[in-house]
Structure 1
C-alpha cells in the first residue's frame, strides 16, 4: 500500500501518505490504523518516525489514539479540518503569508492577554522572554523559545480557542520562525530590533493596555516580514 521513502522529511512524508489513505477510505473496514510496528515495517522507517507522523495527524484532528486499543480514524461527519502542507510552509511566499496569518491572530491574542492576564501569567511571559535572551547568548537559534514566548501570551489571553489554534499552528510557526530568526541572527541590528519589539509587547501587556499590545504585536510581525525583504531572502 505504501512506498518506502528516503531518510529526509520522514515524518512529513509518512503523515502525507497516511492522510491520503485515510481520505481514500483505506481503513474504513476497521476504523483504525495498522499497528505502529506494522506501519514502521511497511514504510521502512523507525517507530519514532511513525509516532511523529501520527502525532501530526492527531493535531490535525484526523486520528485519535486510544490507550491500549490503537489509533482510530476520527469521524468528522463532513467537517473538514484545517490543514497546512508542512513542506509548503517554508517556501518563499508561504513564510510571508504565515507571518500575515500570525499578525492577524497574535495581535488579538496580545490584546486579550493585556486585558485578562494575571500576575502568574505575567511572570510566565517574563520567564519566556528571558529564555529567548539565554538562547541568543548561547548562540542558539531560539526558535523553540520564541514559539514558547508567544504561546505564553496566548495562555494569558484566557481564550482556549486562541491557545488551541496556536497549538495547531505551532509546527508551522516553528518552520516560519526558523527562517525569520535565522535571518535575524545574521545582523546585530535585527536581533536588537526583535528584542525591543518583544519587550514592547510585554510592557503593553504588563500595563494592561490592550490597544498598545495589539499594535506592538502587529508591528513585530510586520517588521519580521520587512527584515526578510531587506535581507533579500523573501
Structure 2
C-alpha cells in the first residue's frame, strides 16, 4: 500500500524506544502523526516533533488511567486516523512466578494486557472501517513457542493481551478494520536489554512495512516485523 501525506496515524506510547522510533518512521514515510507520552516532562518525542515540520503532534496520556484515556478521546473527537497503534509494556525482571509479588503481577497485567485493550475500545471509533487497529505484542506471548520458560510474568501478560485481542476480534467479527498483533523481535531497548539481537533500526522499518502490507485486510493476524506469522 502506497503511503500519502494525507494519511494519519495515532501512536499510543511513543516517548522512547520502539514507540518513538515507530512515530519517527511513520513521519519519515509521509504520515501525519499524533503520538502520546506519559506525563508532562520533555521526551525524545518532543524533540522529534520540533524537527518534523508540523507533521507530528504530541499528546499526553497514561494508558492505565481510564479518566486520562477518556480525556484523550474527547480531545481527539472529530478526527480520523487510518492507523491506531498501541505500544505499552513493562517488565519486573526474570522472576519465577512463585516469587512475583501481587503488586508486580497486577502492575504488569494492567499495563501490558488490560490497558491496551481499554485504549483500543475507547479510541477505535477514531479509525474508519478501512483502517488498522494494531497493538505491540511479543513472541514471548506465544504459548506454543514457550519451550524454555523464563520471564514468566511478562510472557503471561503478553499471552493475556493476545487472548483478549482474539476475544475482541471474535466479538466484532463484522468489523472490517485490520486487526494486528505485532512482534517487533528481540530489540535492544530499555525493556529488551543490551544483549538483544536487533537494533531499533533493524526492527521498526519492518514493523511499518508489515502494517502497510496488510492495511485494508479485515480480521486479526499475529505477525512479526518480517511479516511472518507468529504461532499462538
TM-score normalised over the length of structure 2: 0.29
Higher percent of residues as helix:
1
Higher percent of residues as strand:
2
TM-score normalised over the length of structure 1: 0.28
Which one scores higher on RCO, CA 8 angstroms, separation ≥ 6?
1
